[in-house]
Structures are given as C-alpha cells and as structure tokens.
Amino acid sequence: MLELYHVGCRVSSEFYLRDISLTLKAGECIAIMGRNASGKSTLFSLLIGLHQKDSGEICINGKKMPPLSPQEAVNQGILLLGQNQPMFRDLKVYENIYFGNEITKGRILDNAKMRQEATALLARLNIPINPMAVMGELGYAQQQLVQLAKAVCSGTKLVLLDEPSAHMDAAGKKSLWAAIQSMKKDGRSFLYITHDPEEVLAVADQAAFMENGVLSPAEPVTGMDEEILASRAYGIRPGGLYERARAALGEEVLRVESPDISFGLRQGEVAALLGDSATAQGLLSRIGGLFPMRTGTITVNGKKIEPSPLSAVENGVSLALDEQAEEELEGARDLLESGKKNTPALRALFRIRQAGSSISGAFSSWLGMGRKGEYMTGGNRRREMMERALGCRAQVYLLMDPSAGMDMPSRARLYARFGSIAQERGALLFVTGNWQEAVGLADRLLVLRDGKLVCDVPAETGAAQAKAFLEGDL
C-alpha cells in the first residue's frame, strides 16, 4: 500500500530524516517507537505533505508519487487522525461522520439514512457510541473513535496515528484497539506512533524503531514482549519505571469540600485521580482558580481559593493543565510578582483580560491564523509544561495527564521529580488514565465516576478496591 525507498528530508541545519525505507501492506499496522524528537512525527509531516523529501521515492499502491501537498495527501487516502478532519462540537456524531460526504435525497440531506448508516458503521467497528450524541459532550477517547469512523466514511486507506491513546483510560484503549482491528480487516493500513509497548503488542503486526532520524527495518512483533520493545526503543528496562522517593506525610495543605467531591491532601503526599477525566479536569481547573466551585469550597492552608488564578497562585498552587491555563496562571504570577495586590478589583480586571485573550485566540483560529508548519507531537511540549509547573515554588501541584506522549526516559525523570516534590513537603495531585502509573506512584487513589468521588483509599492497601470501582464492579 505504502512504500518508502531511501527517503531523506532535511528539516533544519541540525536535523534530517536519513535513508528511510519502509513497506506497509494493505490491512497491516506498523508501530513506530523511539525517543521524543527522534523524527517520528517529522516522518508523518512528510507523509501528509507538510515537508517535502530531498531524496528517495514514495510509492502508493505501486505508483511513484510526486511531491504531495496536504490536500493531495488526503486525496491519496492518507489521513493523520485529528489533523486533517474538522470535527464540530455542536453537531451530532452522525453529522460529524458524514460531514463533507453527506447523503442526500435529491437536494435535501437524508438525515435518516445517515443515522442508519452511522449506526451500522459504529457497530461494525465495535464503537459503542450513540450516533445522536452531541460531539462536544463526548470524552476524548470517544471523540478519537468517532474520527476513526469518519476516516472509514471518507474513504481513507492509510491512517497515521500519533499517540492516540495518550489521554485514554484502559477502557478507551481497548475500544480504540478493537476499532483498529476491525478496520484492518477491511484492508485499511496504519502507521502507529506510540511509547507504550502494550499498545504495540495489541495492534501492530510489525515494529520499527526511530533514532536520530534513522528508522530501523520493520520486524514482526511475534516473539517480542514489553521488555524487549522498551529495550529496543529506549535502551532501558521498564521494571523500575515507577520507583520514586517517598516522604513522611505532614499537615493537610489542600481541602476540597462539596456535596459530590470531598477530600484533603497532606504535605509530602502524592495522590492520583482516576476515572471520570472530564470531572477531574474540571476539578483541577477550579482548584487552580480558573472556574468557580458551583457548590462548596477549596482551601489551601485554610485560606479559601477565590475563582481567580490570582488567588490560586498567591496561595501556592501550581497547575499544569494545558497551554491556555498555563498562560493564565503565568499572567497572574507576573502581576503578583510586580507588587500588585490580590484585590477584588484586580481579579475583575484579570477576568476581563482573560476573556479578551480567549476571544482573540478563537477568532485567530477561525481565520486560520493558528500555528503553521510541521506537525509536532505533544510529548516534548508536555514534558516542558510539566517541568515548568514542577519548577515553580508552590505548596500544591496539580497535573493533568503528566506523562502523556512522553517516552520512557522522560517519564522516569518526571517520576523522580515527583519524589523530590514530596520530600520537599509539596503535595501533588495528578490525573491519569494509566493504572500502573497511578498504583506505582501514588500514596492515595481517588476514583471519580459520574461527577462524584466514589473511592478514596491508600494505594498500598486499597488498590484492588479502587480498581473494582474504576471498572464498575462496585
């Protein structure tokens, strides 16, 4: 289906892809592993037309291809999941699936037929999603699955996946893998970037390893295990990945009180939030002062957090959620460090500035004035964001999916920093869909379900109970 022959591509004076050769058959999945910044996403940029090769040949279905533009790549049936497909939050699932490929009856949209076809398509791909659901109300994992269904509808033959499960829990991953296996049976092919050896064994037929712009020949995964894959990709063994320094716990530093979610966090404690990721993200946002609590209170060292980043930063909260949240907290930190007092008037002014910045960013995106250039994975950006958040002088550290997209060496360094924070008497709360990460790093496990805290147990003695709640057995 896809053949690369000795392809080279100079990206900058310091980095280039060198002598890339790869053969991908119809109905096959090749996983690509390697450290962050080794060239994996640059290869995807080349395949979707954001970069042009300097040497070698690219053939699709046996035909030598001229230099591709992004639109020509789509026309050839190549799609980078999430990159080339517009998804509309206010439209229903079936409307998103058929957007651009609408079924009509004469000049009128045949919504009944599209709903019927979408229902059948989702069932065939083992995707348990209601086609009448509103896209914006779905979780991250479900939105990824809808994009796979849209890829089938639009006639995509080659799907490029770059860490698609980075923000998924175990159930989301299983649904993703099942959909991929169904699509492979229909003859669709996949190139799959991942740092997770478990994922390689679940979906890939072959694995290749990237290092400094050089891709090793693809090899069958038969006979490989997670340890072999980690060793080949990173030169390390995954056994001690979650080891970190532990600390004696001190006084309570964070307290959340509401009808549905109430818990405390002590100095030197590391706690993992699992389950309902949308509620978890909202909770971190509220502790960080980005949004008000609907009911209840949040206190740090007994002081109430007002619905403003100014209040959160002043009381020792550091939040790593996304780039927009980081900008807001950094703006609050700059104001406070300049000598401004956290007054109601300043908080009101800061909210106005936040709103203006948000509207400006949305308008720029709508006009197509967003960031241009090479498609880049979030692994390095995620690592840098976590480093900045953990580098702040704070008492409470809040992290959303801290290791998403990171390679194993980067994750090991991050986890070591967790231990340092605990020993420095900081309290750390992180949201994760990775069960092994939660159990291996946390002192406490907190499980959310349907907007409520349903389980709060010590990791050492309560892991089985937490997992039962997480999987819906309790």
Q: How many CB atoms lie within 10 A of CB 77?
A: 19
- pLDDT at position 359 is 44
pLDDT over 80 at 187, yes or no: yes
Q: What is the C-alpha to C-alpha distance for residues 317 and 330, in angstroms, rounded to an integer? A: 12
Average pLDDT for 422-444: 94
- pLDDT at position 143 is 86
- pLDDT at position 369 is 43
C-alpha closest to that of 26 among 74, 62, 71: 62
Contact indicator for 315, 342 with CB cutoff of 8 Å: no
Q: What is the C-alpha to C-alpha distance for residues 446 and 256, in angstroms, rounded to an integer? A: 13
Residue 357: which pLDDT band, with cuts at 50, 70 and 90? Answer: low
Domains of the chain: 2-85+154-239 (3.40.50.300), 252-470 (3.40.50.300)
Write down the H helix ranges in 2-80: 40-47, 70-75
Rg of the Cα atoms in the chain: 23
Condensed to tens digits (0 to 9), the pLDDT of residues 45-86 reads: 999 988 899 999 999 989 999 888 888 888 899 988 854 456
Helix, strand and coil percent figures for the chain, each rounded to 5: 40, 25, 35
- pLDDT at position 88 is 81
- pLDDT at position 157 is 93
What pTM does this model have? 0.76
Residue 221: which pLDDT band, with cuts at 50, 70 and 90? Answer: very high
Residue 355: which pLDDT band, with cuts at 50, 70 and 90? Answer: low
Average pLDDT for 210-224: 94
- pLDDT at position 377 is 52
Q: How many CB atoms lie within 10 A of CB 8?
A: 15
- pLDDT at position 236 is 77
Contact indicator for 183, 224 with CB cutoff of 8 Å: no
Residue 241: which pLDDT band, with cuts at 50, 70 and 90? Answer: confident
Q: Which has the minimum average pLDDT: 213-217, 238-242, 269-273, 313-317?
A: 238-242
Residue 108: which pLDDT band, with cuts at 50, 70 and 90? Answer: very high
- pLDDT at position 353 is 64
- pLDDT at position 347 is 65
- pLDDT at position 365 is 41
C-alpha closest to that of 397 among 295, 267, 304, 290: 267
Average pLDDT for 110-116: 95
DSSP 92: B
Contacts of 313 (CB under 8 A, 6+ apart): 289, 329, 332, 333, 336
Tokens of 143: 């939105």
- pLDDT at position 78 is 92
- pLDDT at position 2 is 94
Condensed to tens digits (0 to 9), the pLDDT of residues 360-401 reads: 444 444 344 444 444 445 677 888 999 999 999 999 999 999
More confident residue, 11 or 366: 11
Average pLDDT for 4-23: 89
C-alpha closest to that of 61 among 187, 171, 173: 187
